[in-house]
């Protein structure tokens, strides 16, 4: 447990924890707490690295600043080799106990890859503090700080991130002069974020023509029947099993001619090997860090309108703030829509006006807000 610094913003803390008896190893990076406690999910993958968590923690600082919510940026990662629910629960509980000195005041956990509402419940119970994590089950309620009534969880399984991504895509399409009615969409990653983005976009009138999950990709020039895709989502059926006749090679997915491309899967999914084939007019980054910055800049210079990750996928952390404040789901969705639309509009309009990369514009806005908070804090 030690303090490190790489630039004026952070990270403030890089924490490495180990439970030798369980074989659990994890990281917590608290990037910046000028605006409030560091907020970011717990990523549970076999190969999660400190470098990955550090990049994600910084992204959370800018995401929260841009969304205008009083959270700083942080991220956690736990090396999860896979196993039984009992083993996973033991890992999460151990992680929570080891991070206890930082919880609530410096760090508030949340869901991420392979961690959802039940893991958040395990986490807060092991930490002994309702506020140690957001994204808890909707039926998990508790009286907090002696206030009237009970506060209940708002799980990310409600679709707040995908909902926000869909509204970011709508704003981008409007600014690009593309009608959402009939707009063609490709979604890479068909988990929580990708499926909800698909559902909300199709409700807006868009047509999904290319979909991909961890096992493969499918394509239909005229779009997929919504009822069939609805069954895929409801039963968690792999796309190739449900739509075998629509199968395409995974690399062909990126070449689909679409209006809107939504990478909603893993870090660096767009890379040197597939970037040149991309034919989308708009990329809405639903997943965190779907490509490295030089590649993103190259695609923007080719004329692709890009909504950066920390603008587009802030719905989850806005939902977290709503849960933290004790809002109900209806009020949460209203807050997500308002803040995502405001942030996306501000960033893209300034980008178009100044002819600057949207990420640079968004980062500048976010950094100014964090700088102001840091100066105020140092003057207190």
- 69: CATH: 3.40.50.10860
Top pLDDT among 264 and 289 is at: 264
The pLDDT of residue 328:
92
Residue 5 has pLDDT above 50, yes or no: no
Is 79 among the domain residues? yes
Is 52 among the domain residues? yes
Over residues 344-359, the mean pLDDT reads 97
pTM, full prediction: 0.89
Q: What is the mean pLDDT of the chain?
A: 95
Is 182 among the domain residues? yes
Question: How many structural domains is the chain composed of?
Answer: 2
**Same domain flag for 185 and 212:** yes
| Alpha-carbon gap, residue 111 to 118, rounded angstroms | 9
Q: pLDDT digits over 235-287, tens only?
A: 999 999 999 999 999 999 999 999 999 999 988 999 999 999 999 999 999 99
Above pLDDT 90, what percent of the chain? 91
Q: pLDDT digits over 74-127, tens only?
A: 999 999 999 999 999 999 999 999 999 999 999 999 999 899 999 999 999 999
Single out the residue in 132, 156, 180 at which a domain terminates. 156
Helices vs strands, H then E, count in the chain:
12, 15
Single out the residue in 141, 156, 171 at which a domain terminates. 156
Closest Cα partner for 64 from 253, 310, 270? 310
**Same domain flag for 252 and 352:** yes
Which pLDDT band holds residue 288 (cuts at 50, 70, 90)?
Answer: confident
b/e code 304-322 from CB counts within 10 Å (16+ = b): bbbbbbbbbbbbbbbbbbb
**Same domain flag for 167 and 288:** yes
Q: Which two tokens stand for residue 73?
A: 């940026």
Q: pLDDT digits over 177-223, tens only?
A: 999 999 999 999 999 999 999 999 999 999 999 999 999 999 999 99
Is 44 among the domain residues? yes
Contact 176, 305 (CB under 8 A): yes
b/e code 340-370 from CB counts within 10 Å (16+ = b): beebbebbbebbeeeeebbbbbbbebbbebb
**Same domain flag for 166 and 306:** yes
Is 273 among the domain residues? yes
Is 350 among the domain residues? yes
**Same domain flag for 137 and 190:** no
Q: Could you confirm whether 75 is annotated as catalytic?
A: yes
Which pLDDT band holds residue 58 (cuts at 50, 70, 90)?
Answer: very high
- Of these ranges, 51-65, 318-332, 340-354, the one predicted with the greatest mean pLDDT is 340-354
The pLDDT of residue 289:
86
**Same domain flag for 71 and 107:** yes
Top pLDDT among 266 and 132 is at: 132
Phi, psi (5° rounding) for residue 362?
A: -65, -40
Active-site annotation holder among 3, 18, 63, 75: 75
**Same domain flag for 186 and 127:** no
**Same domain flag for 98 and 35:** yes
Is 143 among the domain residues? yes
**Same domain flag for 38 and 124:** yes
Residue 361 has pLDDT above 80, yes or no: yes
**Same domain flag for 201 and 62:** no
Residues with Cβ within 8 Å of 96's Cβ and at least 6 positions away in sequence, in order, are: 103, 109, 122, 123, 124, 126, 127, 132
Orientation angle between helical segments 85-99 and 117-127, nearest 10 degrees: 50
DSSP string, 288-308: SS-S-HHHHHHHHHTT-EEE-
**Same domain flag for 144 and 175:** no
We report the CATH number of the domain holding residue 224 as 3.40.50.720
| Alpha-carbon gap, residue 107 to 41, rounded angstroms | 10
Over residues 59-74, the mean pLDDT reads 96
Print the domain residue range for 209: 160-315+344-364
Single out the residue in 99, 133, 156 at which a domain terminates. 156
Which pLDDT band holds residue 146 (cuts at 50, 70, 90)?
Answer: low
**Same domain flag for 121 and 180:** no
């Amino acid at each position: 447990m030690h303090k490190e610094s790489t630039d004026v913003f952070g990270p403030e803390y890089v924490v490495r924890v180990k439970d030798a008896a369980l074989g659990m190893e994890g990281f917590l990076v608290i990037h910046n707490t000028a605006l409030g406690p560091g907020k970011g999910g717990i990523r549970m993958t076999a190969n999660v690295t400190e470098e990955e968590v550090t990049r994600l923690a910084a992204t959370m600082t800018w995401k929260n600043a841009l969304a205008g919510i009083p959270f700083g940026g942080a991220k956690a990662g736990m090396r999860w080799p896979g196993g039984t629910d009992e083993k996973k629960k033991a890992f999460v509980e151990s992680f929570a106990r080891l991070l206890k000195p930082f919880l609530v005041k410096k760090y508030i956990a949340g869901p991420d890859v392979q961690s959802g509402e039940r893991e958040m419940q395990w986490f807060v119970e092991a930490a002994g503090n309702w506020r140690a994590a957001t994204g808890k089950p909707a039926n998990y309620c508790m009286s907090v700080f002696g206030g009237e009534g009970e506060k209940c969880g708002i799980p990310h399984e409600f679709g707040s991130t995908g909902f926000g991504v869909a509204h970011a895509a709508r704003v981008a399409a409007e600014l690009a002069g593309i009608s959402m009615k009939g707009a063609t969409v490709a979604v890479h990653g068909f988990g929580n974020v990708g499926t909800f983005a698909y559902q909300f976009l199709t409700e807006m009138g868009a047509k999904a023509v290319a979909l991909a999950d961890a096992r493969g990709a499918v394509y239909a020039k005229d779009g997929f029947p919504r009822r069939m895709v609805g069954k895929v989502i409801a039963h968690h059926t792999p796309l190739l099993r449900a739509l075998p006749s629509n199968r395409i090679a995974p690399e062909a997915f990126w070449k689909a001619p679409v209006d809107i491309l939504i990478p909603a899967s893993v870090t660096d999914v767009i890379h040197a090997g597939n970037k040149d084939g991309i034919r989308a007019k708009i990329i809405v980054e639903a997943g965190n860090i779907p490509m490295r910055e030089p590649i993103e800049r190259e695609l923007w210079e080719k004329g692709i309108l890009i909504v950066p990750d920390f603008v587009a996928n802030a719905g989850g952390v806005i939902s977290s703030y709503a849960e933290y404040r004790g809002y109900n789901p209806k009020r949460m969705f209203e807050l997500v829509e308002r803040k995502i639309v405001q942030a996306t509009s501000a960033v893209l309009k300034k980008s178009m006006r100044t002819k600057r990369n949207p990420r640079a514009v968004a980062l500048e806005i976010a950094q100014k807000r964090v700088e102001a908070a840091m100066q105020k804090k140092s003057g207190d």
